[in-house]
Structure 1
Amino acid sequence: MGKRRVLVPAEELDLSTVKYEHEEYKVPHLTGYTLGIFVKILETPLIGNLIINYMKKQNKFDELLQNTTIPETPMFKPEYPPQELENGVVDVEEDGKPEERVEIALKCLPPYDPASCWANETNSFRYWKICDYHYAYRSKIVTPSIVAERFISAIEEIHSKMPPTPLLVSFDADELMKQAVASTRRFEEGNPLSILDGIFVAIKDDIDCFPHPSKGATTWLHEVRPVEKDAICVSRLRKCGVIFVGKANMHELGLGTSGNNPNHGTTRNPHAPNRYTGGSSSGPAAMVASGLCSAALGTDGGGSIRIPSSLCGVVGLKTSYGRVDMEGSTCDAGTVEIIGPLASSVEDLMLVYAAILGPSPAKKITLNPRGDRLLLVAISGHDTVSPPCLPDLSSSNSLIAFGSLRLGKYTDWFNDVYSIDISNKCEDALNLLVKDHGCEIVEIVIPELREMATAHVVSIGAESLSALSPELADGCGSKMTYDTRANLALFRSFSAADYVAAQRLRRRIMHHHMEIFKKVDVIVTPTTGMTAPKIPSSALKLGESNLQVSGYLMRFILAGNLLGLPAISVPVGYDKEGLPIGLQLIGRPWGEASLLRLASAVEELCWKSKKKPVSFYDLLKTN
């Protein structure tokens, strides 16, 4: 029967025996017609199975899933022990009105000083913030209608460019102007709905935003899944007066990390048009980075908010599992994916996050009285063990919370990057936190990283395949891009036993991380192991499969998804080619407030290095 690997129980693992191992996927890099031929072979019953089984063996899937005894019981969704409440925070009512939560978030921000914000005496690049737009509307410097006209002109210019840079897959200029006119009227009457009134926001194409279709960047999904109303998170933003610009491009069905999309065209990085934005929330990140939107909503099942945020030089938040209602997204039944905001600044991210947070009343996630596991239960009260809260950044009290903040760093993992520029810039940011805020860097060891990656790919693969089963049975598989079909071929090869083994690994890895969080407050890593990769010309028409690149892009992000932990990517600088670099902060369960506070400090320490993207549109120009 061969030699079988037996894991000791997680609590008995001797961390001194853990050795970091660099891992790469052993699969071919394919583009264009070569990729198409390879996928058709994979889909051939006999030879395809042989090839997939060979690749799984080469990448040790069978060793981890079938030839390993895992003593832990399965964990089919994230379960957390009780968590301590965060310091220096303001609670927000998740059952309250979104506009009231946004008002609370606004009071948590430093006071707005229009003189300093509009002077820009340093001549350094700075994105216009939501507060800037609100001030401009209030002061009648500009109106939402005027900004909408500029936005429409910018989109027309982008569509006429060569090579094409498709940011939106669904756009209706008349619908946009209708929203802008209504917002302008509210400002004229002195009754804006909130500080988000008149703020332009893009919605990823797997989140419902009526009347736009949700295609998931496919050519067919909207035909079998019509949109009749807004997703819950979109409806909350609409109540705040947000102007929705349309549905942003993405990697087809979210099953990729590059943002490549032959169906609607591949979104290009605003900092370098010959490079990818990262995926799968490629369009949302590019829209924010290019100045066209103050914020966007994306989804994150495998780094799909944080990866493009890092590659495009913006901020992206992956919330705790269950913190935001998923109803109205194409992935609302999964356990690894969430809806979260992207923005050009932490302040703007906080405002949007405050508007959308809160699960549906029937599916609140809370701890049972024993405190030993999570339950999805219907509850009538308003109390939760870990209520949503925001950091109070409005006073010096915020600095006190930094006094004993411990940042966990696994150095061997931290430094395993494609370019040393990435680890150096992230290290510089950490040193500034130590110097200016008294944070402490604590060396940690994170065991079984390869096991975590395996458990994640099986989990997200099984959930994706399950969600698509009816459409695949109806023959929609042939309408998908080749790299999506390659992924689905792999996902089909996983058995029920593989899935259960992956969930056993999930419980082990959760134990390891909860032990780490007894010693540190936040785990720090680069967001990605490489900066924006180049777009091969051969990949534009028929796509690309490059799992080596995916491995670098996903190297540091999987704990957030498999374990449901909150994580944020914040820009810290650029590599030698001028490509953005992001620092990732991974927090305790429900620890969004601590991450937002720390990200705000990092942003303040690194703001002078901010560079204007090559593709940038100033919609608030006053001259």
Structure 2
Amino acid sequence: MGGSSSTGWGKTKGSSPRAMTPVEEVDISAVRYKPPTLQAPHLTGFSLRAFLWLMESPLLGPLITSVLKSQNNMPQMLQQTVIPERPMYYPEYPPQDLEPGVVLVGEDRHPVERVHEALQYLPPYDPSVRWATEEKLPFLYWKIRDFAHAYRSGITTPSVVAEHVIAGVEEWNNKKPPMPMLIYFNADDLRRQAEASTKRFEQGNPMSILDGIFVAIKDDIDCFPYPTKGATTFFDQIHTVEKDAVCVARLRKCGVIFIGKANMHELGLGVTGNNPNYGTARNPHSVDRYTGGSSSGPAALVSSGLCSVAIGTDGGGSVRIPSALCGIVGFKTTYGRTDMTGVLCDAGTVEVASPLASSVEDAMLVYSAIAGSRPMDKLTLRPSPLCVPNLLSPDNNNILGSVKIGKYTEWFHDVSDREISSTCEDALKLLCSTFGCQIEEIILPELEEMRTAHVVSIGSESFCDLNPHYKAGRRTEFTLDTRTSLALFGSFSSTDYVASQCIRRRIMHYHMEAFKKVDVIATPTTGMTAPKIPPSALKSGESDYVVSAYLMRFIIAGNLLGLPAITVPVGHDKQGLPIGLQLIGRPWGEASLLRVAAAVEDLCLKKRNRPAAFYDILKA
């Protein structure tokens, strides 16, 4: 099994079941990486429909799911092995020291105050550089501070920009093929929000640096008065939106203008972004390819220039994967760092709401607005104080120079094309040669067990949430690939779930041991660049677990263990498709991640290209 070795298993006698060696006794130095061998059919169209019929058959379904799980060693891991560790039902972290060179922003303060505090520690804003002639522009995207300058200096108004956004959305929807980035869009409501923001600027009283900034909200997050469908055809009929989700409410207090509800993989149960219900969002860098998912619409909107920031959810790489494939920044926070009230999956143990942004700077500002744990999480998770990096500190370069970056080389290079890992490696070498930081070799055992524990955890939690609707006759209203996933998830037993939580504790131990040696762990964000959209998948969906495994290869620790992680664009492959570098941090270590990510972004800026499908809403 991937990432395992004989050192992780105890001796057995006769017909006794296998037993894992207690995690503290595992000889990590003896672990040898073994690439995973995932087996599952690639299905679209009629073949997907036929396979689903078999999966949902009372007689044949249990047999098929049993064979699929056996082919992927799941019964062997979860039911035929003695795991000595007790379960960890949600992430548990040892106490963390305060990060160096950070500023406390105080999570109990008003969002406007937190954003203003974070703003003070960004590098100085120079409008003469940012507003140079087109030929001299040293950047790809307009940032939040560019919009703020444009509004305050009278270059434009939120109302004018709103018309450009409306025109851009209509243009994308009318393209051949269409690029449906939004599930719910109300041009009149957008104009009303923009008019209110414009008046605040005319009166010299903007609410914050985020006033007039256009933000899209993924369709599994409540944003009143818009419906929340989770990209299904029916969920808004059984889920009434009465108020904003907490993360949305915090942005609204800062004057943000909400574009609408962004497209996504139905109910977040996929990582390509395929959606037959509303159309599949397409990658602005190559419209015949997926954006990645499940936050497909948010990534496409930011990548195409229609907004600087969007809010997505990340339960299995769903912010980081589409951000990497679309060439933008995706910032997943520590589990529990943000209040998930008002998000469809708010009871899960792997998912967080997080920003997708055109730049690290914008991700930091929006993070400052939305962060803040719910009261129960403060009691159970004991979060460290909410911080941002002081990027103006004279010690900033010295702090960067002291950073130790963990790299599990064999895993790092387990990608579909070595160009991906080589590009990420070049970015790390550039970071080290510029600032003097060091790369340390690490080993992370039981990676395949981690993948299995994650799919059982997120699958069981998703099935539990959806089972009442599934049993109430709504099953046929889900898309075919959602039903295929639910048929598999519904086959997981209580034994599988508890064993997966025991594995979660083991994997946490290995990562906390690694963080005794290093400050961040670096990997490619995805094991492949944006996959092509099969034409046969547009009408009825697609099930391709091999592609999903490549896309999810490096992201699972962020979810199963709740660790903060960020993806930064570092270049493109030969086909011009974006490549992302992922940085994984210690629990509650968002500020350190933002510091390193900002440095990587700056060093790799010249290696990034604007997407082919781009709309300049400030100069339209």
TM bucket normalised to smaller: over 0.9
TM-score of the pair, normalised by structure 2: 0.96
Match of 1:217 among 231, 235, 240: 231
Equivalent position amino acid for 2:588 in 1: W
Q: How far has the Cα of 1:433 moved from its partner?
A: 1.0
Q: How far has the Cα of 1:91 moved from its partner?
A: 0.4
The answer as to whether partners of 1:30 and 1:546 remain within 8 angstroms in 2 is yes
Aligned residue number for residue 403 of structure 2: 405
Q: How far has the Cα of 1:501 moved from its partner?
A: 0.3
Q: How far has the Cα of 1:17 moved from its partner?
A: 2.2
Equivalent position amino acid for 1:214 in 2: T
Aligned residue number for residue 52 of structure 1: 65
Partner Cα separation in structure 2 for residue 425 and residue 482 of structure 1: 36
Aligned residue number for residue 119 of structure 1: 132
Aligned residue number for residue 190 of structure 1: 204
Q: Write the deviation string for residues 358-380 of structure 1: whole angstroms up to 9, x where unpaired.
A: 012x32335xxxxxxxx26xxxx
Match of 2:49 among 23, 36, 45: 36
1:552-567 matches, within 5 Å, as 552-567=550-565
Equivalent position amino acid for 1:180 in 2: A
Partner Cα separation in structure 1 for residue 321 and residue 378 of structure 2: 27
- Report how many aligned residue pairs link the two structures: 606
Partner Cα separation in structure 1 for residue 172 and residue 463 of structure 2: 35
Q: How far has the Cα of 1:123 moved from its partner?
A: 4.7
Equivalent position amino acid for 1:482 in 2: L
Match of 2:287 among 265, 273, 279: 273
Q: Write the deviation string for residues 233-288 of structure 1: whole angstroms up to 9, x where unpaired.
A: 00000000000000000000000010000000000000000000000000000000
The answer as to whether partners of 1:289 and 1:312 remain within 8 angstroms in 2 is yes
Q: 1:353 to 1:22 in 2, by over 3 A?
A: same
Q: Secondary structure at the match of 2:401?
A: coil
Match of 1:532 among 530, 533, 541: 530
Partner Cα separation in structure 1 for residue 40 and residue 140 of structure 2: 42
Match of 2:482 among 472, 484, 488: 484
Aligned residue number for residue 381 of structure 1: none
Q: Secondary structure at the match of 1:46?
A: coil
Equivalent position amino acid for 1:49 in 2: P
Q: Secondary structure at the match of 1:105?
A: helix
Partner Cα separation in structure 1 for residue 267 and residue 159 of structure 2: 33
The answer as to whether partners of 1:24 and 1:551 remain within 8 angstroms in 2 is no
The answer as to whether partners of 2:44 and 2:541 remain within 8 angstroms in 1 is yes
Q: How far has the Cα of 1:385 moved from its partner?
A: 5.8
Equivalent position amino acid for 1:264 in 2: Y
Q: Write the deviation string for residues 327-372 of structure 1: whole angstroms up to 9, x where unpaired.
A: 0000000000000001000000001000000012x32335xxxxxx
Q: Secondary structure at the match of 1:45?
A: coil
Aligned residue number for residue 498 of structure 1: 496
Aligned residue number for residue 254 of structure 1: 268
Q: Is there any run of 5+ residues in structure 1 with no aligned partner, and where?
A: 367-374, 377-383
Q: Does 1:150 align with 2:164?
A: yes
Q: Secondary structure at the match of 1:298?
A: strand
Q: Write the deviation string for residues 109-148 of structure 1: whole angstroms up to 9, x where unpaired.
A: 0111000111155455520000000000001100000000
Aligned residue number for residue 22 of structure 2: 9
Q: 1:3 to 1:166 in 2, by over 3 A?
A: farther
The answer as to whether partners of 1:124 and 1:610 remain within 8 angstroms in 2 is no
Aligned residue number for residue 104 of structure 2: 91
| Misfit runs of 4+, over 4 Å | none
Q: How far has the Cα of 1:495 moved from its partner?
A: 0.6
Q: Write the deviation string for residues 438-482 of structure 1: whole angstroms up to 9, x where unpaired.
A: 110000000000000000000001100111122112111110011
The answer as to whether partners of 2:337 and 2:383 remain within 8 angstroms in 1 is no
Partner Cα separation in structure 2 for residue 82 and residue 359 of structure 1: 16
Partner Cα separation in structure 1 for residue 16 and residue 129 of structure 2: 68
The answer as to whether partners of 1:391 and 1:597 remain within 8 angstroms in 2 is yes
Partner Cα separation in structure 2 for residue 195 and residue 218 of structure 1: 35
The answer as to whether partners of 2:216 and 2:260 remain within 8 angstroms in 1 is yes
1:99-498 matches, within 5 Å, as 99-119=112-132, 122-123=136-137, 125-360=139-374, 362-366=375-379, 375=380, 386-498=384-496
Partner Cα separation in structure 2 for residue 108 and residue 364 of structure 1: 28
Partner Cα separation in structure 2 for residue 127 and residue 24 of structure 1: 39
Identical counterparts, % of pairs: 64
Q: Write the deviation string for residues 464-518 of structure 1: whole angstroms up to 9, x where unpaired.
A: 0111122112111110011111111111111101111000000011011111100
The answer as to whether partners of 1:208 and 1:214 remain within 8 angstroms in 2 is yes
Partner Cα separation in structure 1 for residue 393 and residue 22 of structure 2: 46
Q: Secondary structure at the match of 2:521?
A: strand
Q: Write the deviation string for residues 184-241 of structure 1: whole angstroms up to 9, x where unpaired.
A: 0000000000000000000000000011100000001110011111000000000000
Partner Cα separation in structure 1 for residue 335 and residue 242 of structure 2: 26
Aligned residue number for residue 519 of structure 2: 521
Q: Secondary structure at the match of 1:427?
A: helix
Q: How far has the Cα of 1:25 moved from its partner?
A: 1.7
Q: How far has the Cα of 1:400 moved from its partner?
A: 2.0
Partner Cα separation in structure 2 for residue 16 and residue 520 of structure 1: 16
Equivalent position amino acid for 2:534 in 1: P
Partner Cα separation in structure 1 for residue 465 and residue 481 of structure 2: 18
Partner Cα separation in structure 2 for residue 24 and residue 285 of structure 1: 29
Q: Secondary structure at the match of 2:340?
A: coil
Q: Secondary structure at the match of 2:270?
A: coil
Q: How far has the Cα of 1:149 moved from its partner?
A: 0.6
Q: How far has the Cα of 1:3 moved from its partner?
A: 6.0
Equivalent position amino acid for 1:424 in 2: S
Q: Secondary structure at the match of 1:93?
A: coil
Q: How far has the Cα of 1:398 moved from its partner?
A: 1.7
Partner Cα separation in structure 2 for residue 159 and residue 297 of structure 1: 21
Equivalent position amino acid for 2:62 in 1: N
